[in-house]
């Protein structure tokens, strides 16, 4: 719907900005040579400054930096014609100048003028001349809704008009969006043929504009039959069960869009389209056709990539997988609801740290069985068996090997809330050099219940500029479940993102955790404690190096050194503050590869981090926290921001001044 709304706005603006004068052939030939824009002249503006108008325009006068990076906007291009007037009209309309009129003309500098400005008079030069007739500025007056529609829609439609607040600039584009939202509201409740129009009355009171909406709902519509096309490998119910519509339901545009989203999320199709059937003749109960393109039943995967390591700042990951998507245990006799098309897959995962201490840090083997619908509910049940052979842990000075069986499910509530819950049986063997009397046994059986909650209202998962992200995870080990260890873990995080001025985003994160034993257990196992430090928590410190620890003598050198080895925390606290902005696109000016980086915007950031890990809550004090600050540079790729951070520690009674580079992918939060 947002895409459709955008197209309507572009069409509306394009209609307003039709050129009033035809360009003669001689001028077209001159423009074809792409003359350099020497100057931009603005006439007639009274309420909006020249600088603000020029900032909104597409065209730019040439400067040294724009010449270096070969900015095409410094020359008159094909897209230049009409685009400046479109941008300027948009600016004026958003400020309430409903009757704005303007014209744009490209004037050729003669040879004498060019010689005064530069030595070479063979390159054509242009002056952009813009005349503006602002007209009067209007604010919203009374808002009326008239027409023929059911009484139940009176408040929902009225609620949509509350966006048009009195004493705010009367913006025709904003009114057009409200019109579209009204049609959407009616279409989501059975009236897809509704018609909504508006008028703006500027004659009744000087400086005030009354807006009247005219609504005709037409007749109620219901869904007819649904046929499926393109299902060759999977049974038809694999697609039909994902639909939120069925025959006889009241028509809803939202249900159609949600159905297509669910079809994509199911993982069985590379393409899906739910549309009205061409052969459907019943206007009030149209038939629909679901067209799909299936994925292959058998699949093989091979993936490799660089990412953030929990040991070093960089790791190289490899993943191999094989699986089948159409396992079906449904009896030949069709039940009322078929729950087939289960999935089975097997994976092998390997990760290597990159740098001076390169080594294997992860090798894991998993088998997974997934039933997409559980007891007729769209809530997948995922059964996983994994084995992790003995390896030095990423978290501390110990080796670990384990195997586990996990059963989990997840559920979406709307578009923003996602929950996960499950049960795990885990067999763990630890071999540690750290003497912990309460953990004499190196093999333990752990049984846990876990659940997560995630509320995400960010406008973009990679580069958010507004919204919030709240996360809560809980794990309960032992107790009534049995097992050798009794403890629980709770971790919570809250992030918020705000635009502080155009192009700048201020981001804050608060994060904390607790790992606490209970019952007969005297200590949380070392591999289940909480660890901090590194590119995604407190920058300026090595990964997992903060919190409680011990000094270890390194005898491998001629001079005995002492190293601090973290042993995990029971309490953690993290504060992150960060400013982010789109920086000067320096990489665009590079030879050969500069054109590639034009597709990948470059951003910059300033950050401040604070936090630490603690053994007990009494240790949580300001003078016990670690502090750091720094700056970062990001290249926004299709897979997310590629990030390089330089961080410097702040000297405290506990930590000395030091600095560290971090290279990873995605923002820290």
- 516 shares a domain with 413: yes
Which tokens go with 165?
């607040």
Does residue 179 lie in a domain region?
A: yes
Which tokens go with 269?
């199709």
How confident is the model over 610-656, as pLDDT tens digits?
999 999 999 999 999 999 999 999 999 888 899 999 999 999 988 99
- 193 shares a domain with 274: no
- In 4-124, DSSP assigns E strands to 36-43, 101-108
- 628 shares a domain with 496: yes
How confident is the model over 478-506, as pLDDT tens digits?
999 998 899 999 999 999 999 988 789 99
Does residue 267 lie in a domain region?
A: yes
- 606 shares a domain with 478: yes
Does residue 122 lie in a domain region?
A: yes
DSSP track, 29-64: HHHHT--EEEEEEEES-SSS-HHHHHHH-S-----H
- 440 shares a domain with 515: yes
- 554 shares a domain with 426: yes
- In 372-503, DSSP assigns E strands to 381-392, 398-413, 417-432, 443-456, 467-477, 487-501
* 10-residue stretch averages of pLDDT, the chain, 669 residues long: 42 45 61 82 92 90 80 81 88 93 83 52 80 93 94 95 92 95 96 95 86 95 94 87 93 94 90 90 93 91 73 75 82 49 92 76 92 86 94 76 94 91 92 52 83 96 94 96 93 95 91 95 91 92 85 56 77 96 85 80 96 93 94 91 94 91 88
Does residue 16 lie in a domain region?
A: yes
Domain boundary among 216, 246, 280: 216
R_g (Cα) of the chain, nearest Å: 32
Does residue 40 lie in a domain region?
A: yes
Distance spanning both ends of the chain, measured CA to CA: 29
Does residue 315 lie in a domain region?
A: no
Helix-strand-coil split of the chain, %, nearest 5: 20, 45, 35
CATH classification of the domain holding 442: 2.40.160.50
The pLDDT assigned to 466 comes to: 94
Helix (H) or strand (E) holding 279: none
- 231 shares a domain with 212: no
Please answer whether residues 543 and 535 qualify as being in contact, where contact means their C-beta atoms are separated by less than 8 angstroms. Answer: yes
| 526 class by beta-carbon count within 10 Å (0-12 exposed, 13-18 middle, 19+ buried) | buried
- 551 shares a domain with 441: yes
Does residue 383 lie in a domain region?
A: no
pTM confidence score: 0.78
Domain boundary among 294, 311, 334: 294
Domain boundary among 216, 240, 260: 216
Please answer whether residues 499 and 540 qualify as being in contact, where contact means their C-beta atoms are separated by less than 8 angstroms. Answer: no
Q: What angle do CA 398, 401, 403 make, to 5 degrees?
A: 150
- 601 shares a domain with 460: yes
The pLDDT assigned to 53 comes to: 93
- 144 shares a domain with 121: no
Q: Which residues pair with 645 in a beta bridge?
A: 632, 662
**Residue 253 belongs to what domain range?**
226-294
CATH classification of the domain holding 64: 3.10.20.310
Which tokens go with 413?
């509530």
Domain count, the chain: 4
Q: Which residues pair with 632 in a beta bridge?
A: 605, 645
- 654 shares a domain with 506: yes
The pLDDT assigned to 358 comes to: 77
- 75 shares a domain with 183: no
Does residue 476 lie in a domain region?
A: yes
């Amino acid at each position: 719907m947002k895409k459709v709304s955008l197209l309507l706005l572009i069409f509306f603006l394009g209609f307003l900005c039709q050129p009033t004068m035809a360009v003669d052939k001689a001028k077209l030939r001159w423009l074809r040579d792409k003359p350099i824009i020497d100057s931009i002249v603005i006439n007639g503006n009274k309420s909006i400054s020249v600088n603000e108008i020029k900032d909104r325009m597409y065209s730019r006068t040439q400067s040294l930096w724009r010449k270096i990076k070969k900015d095409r906007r410094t020359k008159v291009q094909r897209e230049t014609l009409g685009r400046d007037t479109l941008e300027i009209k948009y600016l004026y309309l958003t400020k309430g100048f409903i009757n704005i009129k303007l014209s744009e003309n490209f004037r050729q500098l003669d040879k004498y003028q060019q010689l005064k400005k530069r030595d070479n008079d063979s390159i054509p030069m242009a002056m952009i001349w813009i005349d503006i007739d602002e007209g009067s500025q209007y604010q919203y007056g009374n808002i009326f809704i008239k027409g023929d529609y059911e009484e139940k829609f009176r408040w929902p439609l009225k609620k949509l008009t509350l966006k048009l607040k009195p004493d705010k600039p009367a913006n025709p584009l904003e009114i057009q969006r409200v019109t579209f939202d009204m049609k959407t509201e009616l279409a989501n409740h059975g009236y897809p043929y509704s018609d909504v129009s508006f008028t703006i009355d500027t004659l009744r009171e000087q400086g005030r504009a009354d807006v009247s909406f005219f609504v005709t709902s037409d007749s109620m519509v219901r869904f007819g039959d649904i046929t499926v096309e393109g299902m060759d490998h999977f049974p038809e119910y694999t697609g039909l069960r994902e639909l939120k519509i069925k025959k006889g339901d009241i028509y809803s545009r939202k249900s159609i869009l949600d159905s297509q989203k669910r079809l994509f999320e199911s993982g069985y199709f590379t393409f899906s389209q739910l549309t009205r059937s061409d052969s459907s003749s019943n206007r009030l109960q149209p038939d629909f056709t679901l067209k799909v393109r299936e994925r292959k039943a058998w699949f093989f995967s091979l993936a490799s990539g660089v990412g953030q390591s929990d040991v070093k700042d960089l790791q190289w990951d490899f993943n191999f997988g094989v699986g089948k998507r159409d396992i079906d245990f449904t009896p030949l006799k069709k039940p009322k609801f078929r729950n087939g098309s289960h999935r089975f897959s097997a994976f092998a995962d390997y990760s290597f740290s990159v740098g001076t201490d390169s080594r294997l840090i992860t090798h894991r083997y998993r088998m997974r069985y997934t039933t997409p619908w559980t007891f007729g509910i769209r809530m997948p049940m995922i059964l996983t068996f994994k084995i992790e052979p003995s390896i030095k842990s990423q978290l501390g000075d110990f080796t670990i090997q384990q195997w586990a069986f996990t059963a989990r499910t997840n559920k979406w509530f709307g578009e923003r809330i996602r929950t996960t819950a499950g049960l795990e049986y885990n067999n763990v063997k630890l071999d540690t050099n750290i003497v912990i009397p309460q953990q004499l046994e190196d093999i333990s059986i752990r049984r846990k219940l876990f659940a997560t909650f995630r509320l995400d209202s960010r406008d973009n998962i990679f580069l958010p500029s507004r919204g919030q992200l709240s996360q809560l995870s809980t794990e309960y080990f032992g107790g009534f479940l049995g097992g050798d260890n009794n403890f629980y873990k709770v971790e919570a995080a809250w992030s918020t993102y705000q635009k502080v001025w155009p192009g700048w985003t201020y981001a804050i994160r608060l994060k904390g955790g607790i790992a606490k034993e209970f019952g007969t257990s005297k200590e949380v196992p070392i591999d289940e404690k909480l660890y901090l430090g590194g590119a995604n928590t407190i920058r300026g410190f090595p990964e997992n190096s903060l919190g409680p620890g011990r000094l270890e003598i390194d005898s491998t050198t001629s001079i005995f050194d002492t190293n601090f080895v973290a042993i995990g925390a029971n309490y953690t606290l993290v504060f992150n503050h960060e400013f982010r902005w789109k920086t000067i696109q320096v990489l665009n000016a590079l030879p050969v590869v500069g054109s590639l980086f034009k597709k990948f915007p470059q951003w910059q950031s300033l950050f401040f981090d604070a936090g630490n890990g603690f053994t007990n809550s009494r240790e949580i004090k300001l003078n016990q926290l670690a502090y750091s600050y720094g700056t970062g540079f990001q290249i926004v790729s299709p897979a997310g921001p590629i990030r390089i951070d330089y961080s410097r520690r702040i000297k405290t009674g506990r930590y000395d001044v030091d600095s560290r580079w971090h290279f990873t992918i995605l923002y820290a939060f």
